[in-house]
Structure 1
Amino acid sequence: MIEQLQAVAGAGSVRTELARQASGAETIEIAGAGSFGDILRDQIAATVNSVKTADSAAMAGINGKMDTRAVTDAVMEAERSLQAAVAIRDKIVTAYLDMTRMAI
């Protein structure tokens, strides 16, 4: 997930296209990636899957069916995914609050 976010954030050569929806709102389309909402939805789904995988790995570790290192790796990956999701959420909330404070 981190690599995907870095690829999106650091891609200076990525072409962006502006598209107007029927409602008149603008969305930024990243070539081959879809809209911002699609990217967020995909990342949220990846985070949820990572947490579910870590949970099942932890249960397998408790039952003795999985190596301790594999359980630790799965839990650490889930933690990184969750931290990234929380950081993105915080940035979105901060941006929203900044926009609500703007004088019109």
Structure 2
Amino acid sequence: MLETISSIVSSPGGLSKTTDVARSASALPQAGAPTIGFDGVMEQVAADAIGTLKAGEAASISGMQGKVSAQRVVEAMMSAERTLQMAVAVRDKVVQAYQEVSRMAI
């Protein structure tokens, strides 16, 4: 579902016509189709982040061994840095939400 939304938003022109909206809605999961819960989405995001960080590490090791160009190493490391910053931001928001919930009067 996230891939569908991402492809809609990132497509050239975005959602410009009502037919685009109808076509996009038909790509979403239908009733009775298995859906991914919040925990599944977070699990997928974490797995993607770990994969990006490992790719950055592998690229830097290959760069030190002379197997990969410096440009490729820099691109992989910048991608890993963005991923780490996103993971820290998500963690901070989760902690903030938890603290707000814990302060609520029951």
Whether TM exceeds 0.5 here: the answer is yes
The structure-2 alpha-carbon separation of the partners of 1:51 and 1:35, relative to structure 1 and needing over 3 Å to count, comes to same
Greater strand proportion: 1
1:75 is aligned to 2:73: no
Q: 1:94: Cα distance to partner?
A: 0.3
The structure-2 alpha-carbon separation of the partners of 1:90 and 1:69, relative to structure 1 and needing over 3 Å to count, comes to same
Aligned residue among 74, 79, 102 for 1:100 = 102
Cα separation, 1, equivalents of 2:35 and 2:69: 36
The structure-2 alpha-carbon separation of the partners of 1:32 and 1:78, relative to structure 1 and needing over 3 Å to count, comes to farther
What number of residue pairs does the alignment pair up?
82
Any stretches of 5+ residues in structure 1 without a counterpart?
Answer: 16-30
Q: Which consecutive aligned stretches of 4+ in structure 1 deviate over 4 angstroms post-superposition?
A: none
Cα separation, 2, equivalents of 1:32 and 1:61: 43
8 Å CA contact 1:53–1:74 kept in 2: the answer is yes
Is the partner of 1:34 in helix, strand or coil?
coil
Cα separation, 2, equivalents of 1:88 and 1:80: 12
Cα separation, 2, equivalents of 1:100 and 1:42: 27
Matched residue type, 2:50 = V
Q: Which has the larger radius of gyration?
A: 2
Superposition CA RMSD, Å? 2.5
Q: 1:32: Cα distance to partner?
A: 7.4
Cα separation, 1, equivalents of 2:34 and 2:45: 15
Q: 1:33: Cα distance to partner?
A: 5.8
TM-score, with length taken from structure 2? 0.68
Q: What's the CA shift string for 1:26-49, capped at 9, x where partnerless?
A: xxxxx9761111111001011111
The structure-2 alpha-carbon separation of the partners of 1:33 and 1:67, relative to structure 1 and needing over 3 Å to count, comes to farther
TM-score, with length taken from structure 1? 0.69
Cα separation, 1, equivalents of 2:34 and 2:69: 38
